Chain A
């Protein structure tokens, strides 16, 4: 027990949780928190917009696999966080958002910079706390980290009225907390795992569909062991991209709207799907009613509400992916293993890959998104972290950039937040400073949060912005080309701004490339420098992303080219 302010108690609580960095921006209602930050023993990164603070904390969390922390003041500061909080919620990323609030006696009076942020954040947070006295703060922080990081992770908001931050009182820091209405399931039901193993062993054409849950639980070696034991090709959801090394002989890449053609095809031919930490989203499976027809589906997920939400399944296993897969590996090791050399299912896999690599042609130009991304892969060390913005740049990365080292790729896959990638890459760099970090961007998305260049430069968190610049809101333009008879509206960027000058204005490096030689030189140069680099890569505005499963159609209706 010792006497201290609520703000100081917040700092001590964050230190006790092992926080080493927070991303934020001060304002009137969180000044006491910023005053306490002066003496805190963790790093504060000043952002230029609160949305970016949330994305940075999210990017940090996805690489560190523990909660990231962001700070904002009340009212507009808090509402600016919301896009970032919703992004983390959609992708099950553990995030702690701490907002200042007007003093208790002003709540409900429509005070200056007052927003009911608990109400606003409710649909996109796992939980939201508003401590009403300073003594509650340590318990609230401990509960917040527990809720954010356990079970299916997600964001938690802590909204602290200014007088509660200022209040000086005796503060007790609990060692144990209990949240009686929160019981995340961790240990899977063994008999269900046994049934799943039986089904997998008896399947002729088994396939594994790996989702984001594999990455969240870090079950990379377990997943690989199972795939190799049953000789099952592995497709991923887009969120699951990089759960399995994409240069592995069983890898097929992501399925879905812009999935790999061979992945979208082979999953239709399977007789048994093992869906691991995946939620059968519309973007991954197309039509819920068509997907998986006539196949046995095994669904493993930590969130009981995901079972049967979009797709009814044959065997459901609720529990932590890593622990369930580990049990499965043990059980499978005792079973007869299929011989790989004369396995017709694996021959079929090879056939599909060969067919589509022959038939999915690139545009006949010197510089295309595909060629640029292949070059990036060639030059980047395997352990580098890659994230993306949203739109064509994102889908091209999904298609043409193989993630080799598991867990080194992430993107805003659920909410699809333009402007996510760049600040998130800065957060990732903070989490793992010794590896190169790349944000594959488009000109439209990069525009939204490019002021984070200031953060990257001033905080010495250098990342590479790999800007696939078609001077277009390219994905919208592609849809207008495909579904609206080329009636373009609101997609032209008109070469504004000049990205090289933007980079230079912030003290970063900027370089514009027109040819593959220039690109190679620029990538090599960026990998050597200690400062953020924007590589402005000019590509053709008419370049489309293929394959394409149009919305409302099934994977079988995939369009493979114009």
Chain B
């Protein structure tokens, strides 16, 4: 996962189809480690074809390193297809679950208001906390997180990005 030094580099979304069988994710993550590639998120899930999974990687790296990353991924025999998506012609979403500390009525109300503005859903309200589900681009989730950070985030889980290029 990326550290602060990569924050200023452009975001790339790499979409690939991989064999849906054991050991594939291991080979891919091992490649990242062995070649020193820095990735921000990785998601893997089933596709319309039962024998293929879609793997989506987001990364902030220089273009030359991106080129190497894509070429090295293509060399992996379990990877059937690799594309770098054009951000301007791609729909991409991430989901985040955020448990926020909210001890009194005012706090809870403010958080619910913010959530409404971000079209986020309240999934759970307890005596001490509110759990919110935010769906959007990573930037939108960052923006929401930065807004509610004042209330103290108890826990957060982000899914990483899923992406598809837009239709013709």
The digit string for A163-203, where 1 denotes a CB below 8 A from any CB of B, is 00000000000000001111000000000000000000000
- CA separation between A502 and B16, bound complex, in Å? 56
Interface size class for chain B?
10 to 19
A305 at the interface (CB under 8 A from B): yes
**Interface: A123 (CB within 8 A):** yes
What B residues does A435 contact at CB under 8 A?
none
Report chain B residues within 8 Å CB of A180: 80
Closest to B33 in A: A123
Q: Is B76 an interface residue (CB 8 A)?
A: yes
**Known contacts A119-B26, A305-B72: A181-B67 contact under CB 8 Å:** no
Whether A147 contacts B68 in the complex (CB less than 8 A), given A118-B23, A122-B30, A123-B34, comes out as no
Q: How far is the CA of A147 from the CA of B23 in the complex (A)?
A: 18
Question: B71–A181 contact, CB under 8 A?
Answer: no
Q: Which residue of B lies closest to A147 (CB)?
A: B77
A62 within 8 A of B: no
A-B contact count (CB 8 A): 36
Contact A304 B74 (CB under 8 A): yes
Q: How large is the interface on A (under 10, 10 to 19, 20 to 34, 35 or more residues)?
A: 10 to 19
A323 to chain B, nearest CB (A): 20
Flag if B23 contacts A181 (CB, 8 Å). Answer: no
Residues of A within 8 A of B79 (CB): 181
Alpha-carbon separation in the docked complex, A181 to B73 (Å): 11
Looking at the assembled complex, report how far the CB atom of B71 sits from the nearest CB atom of chain A, in whole angstroms: 4
Q: Does B127 contact A (CB under 8 A)?
A: no
Chain A residues within an 8 Å CB radius of B78: 181
* Residue A127 is within 8 A (CB to CB) of chain B in the complex: yes
Chain B contacts for A119, CB-based, 8 A: 26
- Asked whether, in the complex, the Cβ of A309 is within 8 Å of the Cβ of B68, the reply is yes
> A residues near B, CB below 8 A?
118-119, 122-123, 126-127, 147, 179-182, 303-305, 307-309, 312
- 14 interchain pairs, CB-CB under 8 A: A122-B26, A122-B30, A123-B30, A123-B34, A147-B77, A179-B77, A180-B80, A181-B76, A304-B71, A304-B75, A305-B71, A305-B74, A308-B64, A308-B67
Query: Known pairs A122-B26, A181-B78. 12 more at Cβ < 8 A?
Result: A119-B26, A122-B30, A179-B77, A180-B80, A181-B76, A181-B77, A182-B77, A304-B71, A305-B72, A308-B64, A308-B68, A309-B68
